Chains A and B, each alone.
Chain A
């Protein structure tokens, strides 16, 4: 999923301060799962903003709505009926959702209420960790299903660097050395010979190195 964290309230407050009627829009997908911008968080943020402005002697109108998905135009259309009564939109979706609203409603200012972080997985309740960088050329088949691009601090492709100590990365004792994890996994699978294969320099053009990316499925695209 795409993970996110709520921005500091001070920053959110500063962005919506000049407006009287705010449309606060959550998203039912990734940001709900990582507890950053779902229905619950929309309710909490609306309450926090309302109280903050009340302490300043001002009341604002906040309309709360949580869409099924904010990155699909079909769902964003549902905002049509509310847009006339809003001076600005505050989105709790990831950057994709914010941009979809900005694209659809060109005349309305849109502000993000969360910082979009990374593509990750849940390690345990309340903890999410980076797992994928969308490099566009997946090599998990070579590395026992553990990604050195997303999880090695140096994105090394052929074994660990000299900073790997007792299975931990030199950047922090909290961070596993991914090459240790890969080796342990290959050993468990009896596929140690894979470790001997030399992976050539990666073509980063399939990732962000090639500029903004797009997928066109000709059988589906109209």
Chain B
């Protein structure tokens, strides 16, 4: 059987995590290609529906990366989204997807190593959890559409 390659979506704040990803690149730090970055103007811009839709469309894992506590460019977007992430984690548990597939991280723009480490650890964690259970239904649907 082919090894499962997870699809991980990372919502990264422009002012910290996205720049940290850039920093990781500049430092030639490798991180898994499984991580798909979505740049957002502030982590607080990420709504519960964005997280849910990512899973609905087949992401195996999702995380939001915002500024360190107290460092949000827009005052408190990072703490607001952290509460939203906690809410969606509970929702994912309720519907059988599993809240563990969603996480919140904090970092500064200079933390290239932390970005690469989190990307690697999250990918490995999702690999261990296995594919998002909605995927088989999605594949069936796609198969039907092709047929």
Question: What residues of chain A have their CB less than 8 Å away from a CB belonging to chain B?
Answer: 8-10, 40, 43-44, 47-55, 57-59
Is there an interface contact between B48 and A44, defined as CB atoms closer than 8 Å?
A: yes
Contact A44 B91 (CB under 8 A): yes
Q: Chain A residues near B137 (CB, 8 Å)? A: 53-55, 57-59
Q: B40: CB under 8 A from chain A?
A: no
Total of A-B residue pairs, C-beta within 8 Å = 50
Least CB separation from A39: chain B residue = B49
B55-68 CB mask vs A (1 if < 8 Å, else 0) is 11000000000000
In whole angstroms, how far apart are the Cα atoms of A43 and B137 in the complex? 20
Q: Is the interface of B mostly helix, strand, loop or mixed?
A: helix
- Interchain CB contact under 8 A, B95 and A9: yes
> Which of the residues B52, B55, B91, B138 comes within 8 Å of A9, measured between beta carbons?
B91
Sorted nearest first, the 5 A-B pairs with minimum C-beta distance are A54-B137, A52-B95, A54-B134, A47-B52, A55-B133
Q: Which residues of B contact A48 (CB under 8 A)?
A: 52, 91, 94-95
CA distance in complex: A39, B96 (Å): 24
Residue numbers in A under 8 Å from B56 (CB-CB): 47, 50-51, 54
Contact in complex: B95, A44 (CB < 8 Å)? no
Contact with A along B132-147 (1 / 0, CB 8 A): 0110111011000000
B97 at interface by CB-CB < 8 Å? yes
**B27 contacts across to A, CB distance below 8 A:** none
- A-contact bits for B113-147, CB 8 A (1 contact / 0 none): 00000000000000000000110111011000000
Which B residues between 54 and 83 are near A, CB-CB below 8 angstroms?
55-56
Contacts of A54 in B (CB 8 A): 56, 133-134, 137-138
**Docked-complex contact A51 and B55, CB < 8 angstroms:** yes
* 7 additional contacts (CB under 8 A) given A55-B95, A59-B141: A9-B94, A9-B95, A44-B52, A47-B52, A53-B137, A54-B134, A59-B137
Is B53 part of the binding interface, using a Cβ–Cβ cutoff of 8 Å? yes
CB-defined contacts of A57 to chain B, threshold 8 Å: 136-137, 140
- 10 chain-A/chain-B pairs, Cβ below 8 angstroms: A44-B49, A47-B49, A47-B56, A48-B94, A51-B97, A52-B95, A52-B96, A53-B137, A54-B56, A57-B136
Contact B97 A8 (CB under 8 A): no
The closest CB in chain B to the CB of A57 belongs to B137
Report how far A40 CA is from B52 CA in the complex, Å. 12
- Given A55-B133, A57-B137, residue A8 in contact with residue B94 (CB < 8 A): yes
Most chain A beta carbons < 10 A, residue from B56, B137, B140: B137
Residues of B near A44 (CB, < 8 A) are 48-49, 52, 91
Given A40-B49, A44-B48, also A51-B94 (CB < 8 A): no
Contacts of A49 in B (CB 8 A): 95
Q: Quick check: B91 and A55 within 8 Å, CB to CB? A: no
